[in-house]
Structure 1
Amino acid sequence: MALPDVVVVGAGVIGAACAEALTAHGIRVLVLDRAAPAAGTTASGEGNVLVSDKEPGPELGLAQASRRRWPTLLAELREELGPSAAEVEWDPKGGLVVATTADAAQPLATFAAAQREAGVDARPISTSEAAELEPHLTKAVTAAVHYPEDAQLQPVLATTTLLAAVRKRGGRVRSGTEALGVDRSGTGAVQAVRTNRGRIPCSAVINACGPWSGDFARAAGAPIQILPRRGVVLVTAPLPPDTVRHKVYDADYVGAVASGDADLQTSTVVESTKAGTVLIGSSRQRVGFDGTLRVEVLRELARKAVNLFPFLAEVQIMRSYGGFRPYAPDHLPVIGEDPRLPGLWHATGHEGAGIGLAAATGQLVAELFTGRDPHVDPKPFRVDRPQ
């Protein structure tokens, strides 16, 4: 069996997107994961593909590129794999951001105006128009912005579809294999990945380990600062179709996303799934890798969701789940080759936006790896950027 050109460490959506984009260019890829594909951060995501929550800047540009790329990529994968093998529950349903206090109305309008200058379709609408879009929404709305570009997909299905394409092109995916570090050649470049199942020769390795990326980078001898940030989601019992029609969140969500505060932050996010369940989030808290589900967090999420959609007070919560997001202190992903160790690449630090940013991230990694012109400016994401 031919040795891989590239070993991707991490079989979540970011690692899968990188592997898919590389194999599309004929590069031999092996994807490793110490558990199973999509079993970590990806399985804990809501599947958001958003432009509405990002202020103008590099991350928004990456999000816009990824939002454009996802439908095209999914169409290509359906053509290659067949419709049933490439079903990811893509839903371009749009988003609705609302203010529920007088003080929040102007900041929401200002934020949307700045996004429009950056090319985002951000449409201020009246409170009555918001009620037409979401009939069960609270009557306390003071301002609203409609984001038609926001979308959703099922993150586990998206990941397994990307990996199916990798396999079809001759790439391999190996579960239960933990990457322990890298071996260097006489010139100091990567020449192999060390794992708990032996040594794998390769010319490059991509660190797509999500919240554990900092650990792998240190083991490889090129440390980066990626921290785990825990989030929790509530899941309701199935509801009738169109009960919640868009991704709906309170305007304070944008501030929580951008904050680096280690303390618990919660903001109201409500959206439905194809199965009829409603997902309720979101929380952010830096607690290391402590996976304890805290009752006070669940209670706060439920309380704020009822404030946004009062009917939820009568709806049963079926389950809750949590996970760790890869958090970079400057809130930008780390994408590209590490100048300290030739052959070591990073694709991590996307925090809660990994699903939405994956398509463009994979494309950017493949462009940089093959020497093609990048479709977005890679400089803001380089590992040695100014902090």
Structure 2
Amino acid sequence: MCERVTSKSATAVELCAAGVGGWQRGVLLMATLLGLPFLLLGAGPVRAATLGDRSGLYVYEGNDNRIDQYDTVSGAFVGTVWDTSWGSDQSYGWIASRGDMAWTPSGTLLVTVGGNNVTVFPGVVEIDPKTGNVIKKLDLSYQPTDVVLDANGHIFVTGWDTTTVQEYDWNTGFIVKTYAPNVWYRPSGLVVDEARNSLWVYSYWSAGANYSALHQFDLTSGQLLNRYVNTSFLPSYARTGILLAPNGMLYLATSQVGPVVEFDPDAGVFTRAFSGGISYAEDIALGPNNTLYAVESGTGTIAAYDIATGQVIDPAFVMTGGSSTSGLLTDPLTLLAVPEPSGVALTALALFTGAARLVHRRRRARYA
């Protein structure tokens, strides 16, 4: 629950109970009503996290059969977006032990689901993150693991028991194309790169290479353009998240040399590995202020890293407590567009809220 208070000087502040305690709200309220605009000097509006907000951090909890939302700045728990556990309104078993999520342009969520092998088939489900209601479902004959959406409304899906990536028209459910069948074994982790007209796919075993590999496919033809093999940097297990950052670099969750590795798509080389925090990562997501989140599925620990330096910011940004926390999702464009308090305002707010850890996370470095 949030309160919106406006003073005579038309200075407005949103106070959210999830992030600011009662006495702290009182102090901020008093400062606002007394007309102390210096508290907000140089700051945008104070963002209040709401359930289903695209600026949140979404976490796929496999063993707990639900999707939870956390605040991308404070790490505070916002709420459960979708619950398919026993006794809930949804069919039991929809959430898989390993899965993925993607945003649609309309603000709904696409979620890979495992089914229960009896009444519910595996596939991709579209849900309303504000209500948890299921809007649509695409049934598949295989267990999907990763899903991404392109600008044309097509989804790209990998699966545990497939050796291809399937592209579907989400509106019709028809297959558009199959990406290089039998080129790799067990594809897992993919990202659409519109600027390079490419689909990047990670696989933990690549046919003919006997190693894990990163593949680049042409989005138009579906043909394989490049395959990058590096046993020192690439992970060696099935579930690996990939993201394309605003700086043009690719980042992969890994277990080999650090929790995250960076790849330069233009040069075709692995450039560095992140350090500190968790020992390995299964999925990654972008956060505000040059932050990258990485999840260690076995412990449910989500660490925060500075994407500019590769160093850990917070080794335990979120502790979900889940033993199968496999998927992370944010909306980078929304996060970059959200005004965040800075400078004098942040320091002043930290004094009143005790949020010193927020100051630590406000990174001056921005995406290039």
The TM-score with structure 2 as length reference comes to 0.27
Q: Normalization by structure 1: what TM-score?
A: 0.26
